[in-house]
Chain A
Amino acid sequence: MTGACDECLRRALLLERLAPYIERVATGQAGQRSPELLALDDKRLIRAVGGNRAGELLAEGRDPGRAGRVRRRAAAASCWTACPHGSAYPAALHDLGAEAPAALFGRGSIALLDELDPAAAVTVVGARRAGTYGLAVAEQLGRMLTRAALVVVSGLANGIDSRAHRGALDGGGATIAVLGGGVDVPYPRRQAGLYRRIVDAGGAVVSELPPGAPSFRWCFPARNRIMAALGGITVVVEAAERSGSLITAEMALDLGRSVGAVPGPVNSWLSAGANQLLVDGAVPIRDAQDVLDHLIGAGSPSVRDLGPDLDPPLREILQCVESGRATCDAIALASEVPAHSAATALARLELLGYVTSDHVGRYSRTTLRAPELVSGSWSPGSHMPCSSGCR
């Protein structure tokens, strides 16, 4: 059977109809209660959020033509649908029990969801407002996880989420984005390009709300539970205290999934949440290898991102970046080379993939590892040949 059953589509439509009511209840002083609300069956949910309009809403729900209308809407938006009663519904979502989404609407590869094995999927979450460090780690993580044939799941949000997706796409793999609102609406809007790339590259974009549904604040914690369920491990990259990513991590724990966190500088406010997770016993994640070791067990095939060899002057510049110096000034001063040599060296390191720079030109280290061996030439094989040293 293809597509979701009528009952489940009706439930999805009900959620869309109730969205503004849920918003009032879920984001009140009680905080992020939306997943608990979503565990209620239709009647209880309507009573819980509908207030004095509950009767009216209940009556609306009995309209038999509703499922057909949702199905037509989905077809018009070229979306597929899936529900627990049909195929293509990821088995991992059953772990959510009563909180499992009734229906999934999606664009892109339905097979990717159908065949999704939580042991081979990694959810990457983190701050929308991330620093260069977190962004670089998220991208590298996305890329290397994909190269190791894992599926990267994230939420298309600005910052860490989108970087993880981007990295996965660069790694040449499929990635799953879970949206808070309707699946045909790229949200946030500035990630519309990424949304298209994900769909075009054989990935999938999914949501539990019907196409066209606007997103409310409660949709995001609700979306997080789906993300947490899809991945075998949830990796938090750069999250401040009281961040939405920590909610996802908590949900993953509740589901019996693992939680990993990328350690950050202890004096960085942006990494406080991730570091706290580590203190609380999360799996420390330095790179894709750590994820792999945890999911599959130590000794799994190596995915260490090894870059080309570096000659000593470049190594020294790389060490300066590793020690947290972000500007060309600081790097030139610390390495005691002239500014123009430092600049040339930074450009080479960036081209080789060892460092990356943000939009204002601050440099940070990627997780690409340098071979331990120092040989005479640093330009083997296909990598950028460069005869002139950086003296």
Chain B
Amino acid sequence: MLAVARTFTVVGVAAQRVDVEVDVRRGLAAFSLVGLPDTAVRESRERVRAAVSNSGFEFPLQRITASLAPADLRKAGPGFDLAIAAALLAASGQLSPDALDRYWLAGELALDGSIRPVPGVLAMAEEARRNGADGIAVAAANASEAALIDGLDVVPLHNLGQLAELGAGLAPVERSTAISPSEDNGTGPGGPDLAELRGQPALRRALEVAAAGGHSMLIVGPPGAGKSLAARRLPTLLPPLARAEAIEVTRIASVCGRPPPPGTLAGRPFRAPHHTISAAGLVGGGNPPRAGEVTFAHGGVLFLDELGEFSRAALDALRQPLEDGSVTVTRARHSIEFPCRFMLVAASNRCPCGHGVESRRCRCPEASVRRYEAKLSGALADRIDISISVEQPSAEALRSAPGERSTAVRDRVAAARERQAARLGEGRCNADMTPAETRRHCRRDGEAREVLERSHARLGLSGRGYERVSRVARTIADLYGTDGVGAEHVGEALTLRRRHADG
């Protein structure tokens, strides 16, 4: 007899439907599994055998063939256990096949028949709804995550025995569609807050401008100048994710095995990979292709501390994703696109030792300082809009009253982003303006134009630099809520501009 159960496998950061077909017929007792299973899937046979017997069912001593379709897709992970067991039970007449038509199944089986959670059920729930399934049955621990998706029954299963009740006795969990994206990007009370950044008004302001326009940013200063502290507070300045975005971010987190706490949607992620990361680790790669840090940072902030220490290859690999908002990893069999719209914040010392060449403590050889400077100004040079130099704040400044809280700044940022969305379209901000849009939207009054032209002659501002300053000036004008870009906006943007090493 033949039975089919539906489950999924993760391809990139999305789910793809997999049909598990099990055929049970007379013959020598055997259990074969076909359809490009990896080791964990192949071992599924042993888990299924034990779990079926230990749950009060009978394991048929017949010739069993399980096929995972589509056959040319490589399948990984233990999530197929539940579907294989269900199809096997239906094929051997121990389970009604009706429920398997209506429900997708995913879960890892323990040998005693209990069901363990698997990563990526949110992606599976989305795919199941797209395919018109009635519902999905998953491990109880996965249920709240899957329930974030509208229009789908989510049935929590504790053990294999409960399969008999699927579609009849088991009640689906309550939908959690009322859960809204976290207001403070998951940082919560007691989490990082901009108020802690004392004695650095210009850095606070630069963060605000960067957040408002989605501009990537470079912070340069000696160790202890609060570079990481500042970068970690950037997500708290960003407006909350829209629900669809939040679900996407949560799906990525879930696929990568880092789901947010049950019953919540992920906030804007903050990723800070170490500088020894490889290009593949940063942008994604491997076979089968796996998402990299840029994808984990989707919707949030990617922080590269010690920019000068990252490998040239890793930094170069970052350019395309920054521009496109997605990474495509191509392998012989398939090519997979990973989303990666994130804000880049980089921090760096002024020289390899960190003290700065003017300091007596700096003992860096000249050549290595030059290399470092070249790397700093060369790295992603045309992708970073804002640069700011910081110093260790004085003790006096550190004792000063705390500054504005993140919430207050976030309100201004949200207002500025609304203006940008009205101008450029939903979800877009000034940082992604094309050159044509920059020309159209950065109408400068006569005075502002003169400032820019002067800076071209006086400060050696290049064509690209000119455009970047225009974009940042546009954001500053948006923070003030004005339609035109004025001289003072251009002036402030000039102070935040990216410079290049020479001399």
Chain A residues engaging chain B, CB cutoff 8 angstroms: 128-129, 131-133, 135, 139, 158-159, 162-163, 166, 190, 268-270, 326-333, 338-340, 342-348, 350-351, 353, 357-362, 384-388, 390
The CA of A125 and the CA of B149, in the complex, are separated in Å by 71
Quick one: CB contact mask for B472-499 with A, threshold 8 Å, 1 for yes? 0000100000000011101111111101
Partner of A343, one of B205, B359, B486: B205
The CA of A385 and the CA of B486, in the complex, are separated in Å by 13
Point out the residues of chain A lying under 8 angstroms from B387, CB to CB. 360-361
The CA of A129 and the CA of B199, in the complex, are separated in Å by 30
> Are B389 and A326 touching (Cβ within 8 A)?
yes
The CA of A218 and the CA of B366, in the complex, are separated in Å by 19
User: Which residue of A has the minimal Cβ distance to B386?
Assistant: A361
> Are A328 and B495 touching (Cβ within 8 A)?
yes
Extra contacts besides A329-B390, A329-B393 (13): CB < 8 Å: A162-B503, A269-B358, A270-B358, A327-B221, A330-B391, A333-B397, A338-B201, A339-B204, A359-B373, A360-B220, A361-B496, A386-B487, A388-B486
> Could you write out 15 A-B pairs with CB less than 8 Å apart?
A268-B358, A327-B391, A328-B389, A329-B200, A333-B201, A339-B202, A342-B202, A343-B202, A343-B495, A347-B495, A357-B499, A361-B388, A361-B499, A362-B389, A388-B447
Stretch from B63-71, B72-80, B453-461 that touches the partner = B453-461
Point out the residues of chain B lying under 8 angstroms from A358, CB to CB. 499
The CA of A135 and the CA of B486, in the complex, are separated in Å by 32
> Are B501 and A326 touching (Cβ within 8 A)?
no
> Are B503 and A135 touching (Cβ within 8 A)?
yes
Given that A129-B369, A131-B358 are contacting pairs, would A359 and B376 also be in contact in the complex, using a CB cutoff of 8 Å?
A: yes
The CA of A190 and the CA of B374, in the complex, are separated in Å by 11
> Are A388 and B366 touching (Cβ within 8 A)?
no
User: Which residue of A has the minimal Cβ distance to B480?
Assistant: A340
Point out the residues of chain A lying under 8 angstroms from B492, CB to CB. 340, 343-344, 347
Point out the residues of chain B lying under 8 angstroms from A343, CB to CB. 202, 205, 491-492, 495-496
B403 to chain A, nearest CB (A): 10
> Are A385 and B450 touching (Cβ within 8 A)?
yes
A335 to chain B, nearest CB (A): 11
Partner of A348, one of B357, B360, B376, B491: B491
Q: Does B428 contact A (CB under 8 A)?
A: no
> Are B454 and A346 touching (Cβ within 8 A)?
no
The CA of A362 and the CA of B377, in the complex, are separated in Å by 14
Given that A329-B201, A343-B202, A344-B491 are contacting pairs, would A166 and B503 also be in contact in the complex, using a CB cutoff of 8 Å?
A: yes
A356 to chain B, nearest CB (A): 9
The CA of A64 and the CA of B496, in the complex, are separated in Å by 64
Quick one: CB contact mask for B439-466 with A, threshold 8 Å, 1 for yes? 0000000010011001100110000000
Q: How many residues of B contact A (CB 8 A)?
A: 51
Q: Does B350 contact A (CB under 8 A)?
A: yes
Point out the residues of chain B lying under 8 angstroms from A329, CB to CB. 199-203, 390-391, 393
Given that A327-B202, A340-B205, A346-B495 are contacting pairs, would A385 and B500 also be in contact in the complex, using a CB cutoff of 8 Å?
A: no
Point out the residues of chain A lying under 8 angstroms from B205, CB to CB. 338-340, 343
Point out the residues of chain B lying under 8 angstroms from A390, CB to CB. 488
A15 to chain B, nearest CB (A): 27
Quick one: CB contact mask for B356-393 with A, threshold 8 Å, 1 for yes? 01111000001001100100110000000001111101
A132 to chain B, nearest CB (A): 8
B218 to chain A, nearest CB (A): 9
Partner of A359, one of B377, B397, B486, B488: B377
Chain A interface helix/strand/loop/mixed? helix
Q: Does B502 contact A (CB under 8 A)?
A: yes
User: Which residue of A has the minimal Cβ distance to B201?
Assistant: A339
Point out the residues of chain B lying under 8 angstroms from A326, CB to CB. 389, 391
Closest 6 CB pairs of A and B: A328-B202, A344-B491, A347-B491, A343-B495, A339-B201, A347-B494
A192 to chain B, nearest CB (A): 12
Given that A328-B389, A328-B495, A343-B491 are contacting pairs, would A385 and B447 also be in contact in the complex, using a CB cutoff of 8 Å?
A: yes
The CA of A359 and the CA of B496, in the complex, are separated in Å by 12
Given that A361-B387, A386-B447 are contacting pairs, would A340 and B476 also be in contact in the complex, using a CB cutoff of 8 Å?
A: yes
> Are A388 and B499 touching (Cβ within 8 A)?
no
A-facing residues in B179-223 (Cβ within 8 Å): 199-205, 220-221
Partner of B500, one of A163, A333, A350, A359: A359
The CA of A40 and the CA of B386, in the complex, are separated in Å by 58
Given that A348-B491, A362-B389 are contacting pairs, would A332 and B499 also be in contact in the complex, using a CB cutoff of 8 Å?
A: no
Point out the residues of chain A lying under 8 angstroms from B203, CB to CB. 329
A165 to chain B, nearest CB (A): 10
> Are B459 and A350 touching (Cβ within 8 A)?
yes
Point out the residues of chain B lying under 8 angstroms from A162, CB to CB. 503
Partner of A344, one of B447, B459, B495: B495
> Are A359 and B501 touching (Cβ within 8 A)?
yes
> Are A351 and B458 touching (Cβ within 8 A)?
yes
The CA of A329 and the CA of B220, in the complex, are separated in Å by 13
User: Which residue of A has the minimal Cβ distance to B476?
Assistant: A340
Point out the residues of chain A lying under 8 angstroms from B350, CB to CB. 360
User: Which residue of B has the minimal Cβ distance to A328?
Assistant: B202
The CA of A230 and the CA of B244, in the complex, are separated in Å by 73
User: Which residue of A has the minimal Cβ distance to B497?
Assistant: A361
Point out the residues of chain A lying under 8 angstroms from B497, CB to CB. 361
Quick one: CB contact mask for B25-66 with A, threshold 8 Å, 1 for yes? 000000000000000000000000000000000000000000
> Are A327 and B476 touching (Cβ within 8 A)?
no
Given that A268-B358, A359-B501 are contacting pairs, would A333 and B458 also be in contact in the complex, using a CB cutoff of 8 Å?
A: no
A99 to chain B, nearest CB (A): 28
A61 to chain B, nearest CB (A): 37
> Are B458 and A353 touching (Cβ within 8 A)?
yes
The CA of A232 and the CA of B486, in the complex, are separated in Å by 49
User: Which residue of A has the minimal Cβ distance to B488?
Assistant: A344
User: Which residue of A has the minimal Cβ distance to B220?
Assistant: A360
B249 to chain A, nearest CB (A): 31
Point out the residues of chain B lying under 8 angstroms from A348, CB to CB. 491
The CA of A353 and the CA of B366, in the complex, are separated in Å by 28
> Are A131 and B357 touching (Cβ within 8 A)?
yes
Partner of A128, one of B204, B366, B496: B366
User: Which residue of A has the minimal Cβ distance to B453?
Assistant: A384
Point out the residues of chain A lying under 8 angstroms from B455, CB to CB. 347, 351
Point out the residues of chain A lying under 8 angstroms from B366, CB to CB. 128-129, 158
> Are B376 and A384 touching (Cβ within 8 A)?
no
The CA of A327 and the CA of B499, in the complex, are separated in Å by 14
The CA of A269 and the CA of B355, in the complex, are separated in Å by 13
Max chain B C-beta neighbours (<10 A), residue from A159, A162, A386 = A386
A216 to chain B, nearest CB (A): 17
> Are A333 and B358 touching (Cβ within 8 A)?
no
A349 to chain B, nearest CB (A): 10
Quick one: CB contact mask for B267-306 with A, threshold 8 Å, 1 for yes? 0000000000000000000000000000000000000000
B273 to chain A, nearest CB (A): 23
Point out the residues of chain A lying under 8 angstroms from B491, CB to CB. 343-345, 347-348
> Are A351 and B377 touching (Cβ within 8 A)?
no
The CA of A353 and the CA of B502, in the complex, are separated in Å by 18
B307 to chain A, nearest CB (A): 11
Point out the residues of chain A lying under 8 angstroms from B397, CB to CB. 333
The CA of A164 and the CA of B190, in the complex, are separated in Å by 53
B246 to chain A, nearest CB (A): 32
